[in-house]
Amino acid sequence: MTFDKDVKYLESHEWARKDGDVVVCGISDYAQDSLGDVVFVELPEVGQTLKKGDAFGVVESVKAASDVYMPVSGEIVETNGVLEETPETINEDPFGDGWLIKIQPSDVSEYEGLMSAEDYKAYTEGLED
Amino acid sequence: METHLKHTPLREWHVRHGARMVPFAGWEMPVHYASGALQEHRLVRTSAGIFDISHMGQLEVRGTDTVAYLEQIISSTMETLGVGNSRYGLICDTSGAVLDDLFVYRLPDKWWIVVNAANTDSDYAWFTQHLNSYMVEVSNVSDQTAMLAVQGPAAIEIMDEVSGGAVSPIARFAAAECSIAGVVCLVGRTGYTGEDGVELFLDAGDAQTVWDAILTSEVGRRADLAPIGLAARDSLRFEPGFALYGHEISREVTPVEARLTWACDLQRDFIGRDAIAARKEAGPQRKLCTFTLTDRGVPREGCEIYAAGAKIGSVVTGMFAPTVEAYAGNAFVDSAYAKVGTEFEVDIRGKRKAAVVVKRPLYKPAYK
């Protein structure tokens, strides 16, 4: 299990990474492992503005559909088109090519409030049975 | 709750080998292993996989009146079933509602019936309720029986290696006793995947020995033989159009809606026969159909189906079908919408996705 130290995490298992002005968001290695093979991803329209904690899309695995939530408030500036044809990229490279959306944040302090890799790892360990 | 789940004799093996375990029909079962359900599915289509399906139930019937007794309960013909052969059938109540589907093997000394895990107890009760004055004995041997399956194009060669060549002479749907790693197994050339292969029945205490012998076989290693979980078992049975109890068949439908009248011998009496014949004659209001989405999305069980603004049915199985690479499903719809080529919409979380009825099955079984 990988807990990428360069990103911050949500309790709902998304990760967020500051990349210049924008925040990139995906789902954690823990999340993709729990979900199993991803077969479909539904992402928002570019230009949409959503609040931190809003569901912005759905990641569907063989057995279940899971909502994914905004790590910070802001405008969706890009979505990962690769996932339409190859949703399994999320399983293969959750912190890299399997990213979901890029957000132009309206309040950068929201990013600073997210969990560190260390805290998230401890949090997931608490979730095991 | 989970403390009441039953375990197969291979449960510890599954956990040690990276299985994700889930509750299913009262059992704790592997849903997939580390490689994931899609890869497991493709492995069975292209090479071979091994399944622990010991949750399935088995009933044994013996006695001089067995044919008449079983023909009272089971929809398909038992009289013409040859010794050493097997046949699919249904059990229905007097209203024609489907109580279960099953596989019957006629063996030299007994009849061996395989039923669904969730229905084993109620099926056994149904069988004992209908003993009447027939000279038969019925026993539920599920707890002491392990059931394994080896399926895929390489399955027979693997089984030949571990049985000393005893499996390839068994014809499709036939069954015979074979010795595998010193264990006597009943081997049926049957399965639930659309691929050639076998299902094995053996004493639960011998399950690990036989499982290990098959997995470590020379041909098995060469074929990358690996264990397959319930998720791939579901997608493998869906593509060739096999029914799963609780989905395509249930107490909510008769064999007519489920397109299973081919498994009903309406020329003779059995419980539910009159209701089924009447339903067939009148024409069913709704019918099972297979569809693929033309929009993108994953249809799921329970999604409602709409056409011309009205609800016309609902999805009973839905998934990404790995071999045909389509988002697809089975649904019961008003009969007028069940024809191949009919377009309708599937409501997936409030969004209407376009779909079209396609020819069944999505995947033609490899042994046909």
- In this predicted complex, what is the ipTM? 0.89
Contacts of B36 in chain A (CB under 8 A): 36-37, 62, 91
User: Does residue B11 lie within any of the structural domains?
Assistant: yes
User: Does residue B317 lie within any of the structural domains?
Assistant: yes
C-alpha distance from B353 to closest chain A C-alpha (Å): 13
Domain boundary among B105, B140, B175: B140
Q: Are A79 and A59 in contact (CB under 8 A)?
A: no
Cβ-Cβ pairs closer than 8 A, A with B, add up to 41
Instruction: Give the whole-angstrom CA distance, residue B73 versus residue B211.
Output: 34
The domain that holds A96 is classified in CATH as 2.40.50.100
Structure tokens at B212: 């290990």
User: Does residue A68 lie within any of the structural domains?
Assistant: yes
C-alpha distance from B218 to closest chain A C-alpha (Å): 29
- Secondary structure (3-state) at B31: strand
Show pLDDT as tens, one digit a residue, over chain B (368 residues): 446 899 999 999 999 999 999 999 999 999 999 999 999 999 999 999 999 999 999 999 999 999 999 999 999 999 999 999 999 999 999 999 999 999 999 999 999 999 999 999 999 999 999 999 999 999 999 999 999 999 999 999 999 999 999 999 999 999 999 999 999 999 999 999 999 999 999 999 999 999 999 999 999 999 999 999 999 999 999 999 999 999 999 999 999 999 999 999 999 999 999 999 999 999 999 999 999 999 999 999 999 999 999 999 999 999 999 999 999 999 999 999 999 999 999 999 999 999 999 999 999 999 87
Q: Are B49 and B228 in contact (CB under 8 A)?
A: yes
In chain A, positions 39-58, which contact chain B (CB-CB < 8 Å)?
39-40, 42, 58
For B235, the closest chain A residue by CA position comes to A62
Name the strands in the sheet holding A14-19, side by side, starting at the edge strand that comes first in the sequence: A8-9, A14-19, A22-27, A101-105, A74-79, A49-50
Burial class (CB in 10 A: 0-12, 13-18, 19+), B165: exposed
C-alpha distance from A85 to closest chain B C-alpha (Å): 10
* Interchain contact, B38 vs A39, CB within 8 Å: yes
Residue A50: which residues within 8 A CB-CB, separation 6 or more? A44, A56, A70, A73, A74, A76
* Interchain contact, A36 vs B36, CB within 8 Å: yes
> B112 with B42, same domain?
no
Query: How is B40-70 classified by DSSP, letter by letter?
Result: HHHHHHHS-EEEE-TTSEEEEEESTTHHHHH
Domain range for B204 is 2-56+143-238
C-alpha A78, offset from chain centre = 13
Burial class (CB in 10 A: 0-12, 13-18, 19+), B292: middle
Q: Are B199 and B88 in contact (CB under 8 A)?
A: no
Domain range for A31 is 8-106
Structure tokens at B21: 């375990």
How many C-alpha atoms does A79 have within 13 Å on its Cβ side?
A: 17
> B112 with B147, same domain?
no
* Interchain contact, A62 vs B297, CB within 8 Å: no
> B26 with B70, same domain?
no
Spatial CA neighbour of B305 closest among B324, B340, B330, B284: B330
In chain A, positions 96-115, which contact chain B (CB-CB < 8 Å)?
none
> B215 with B326, same domain?
no
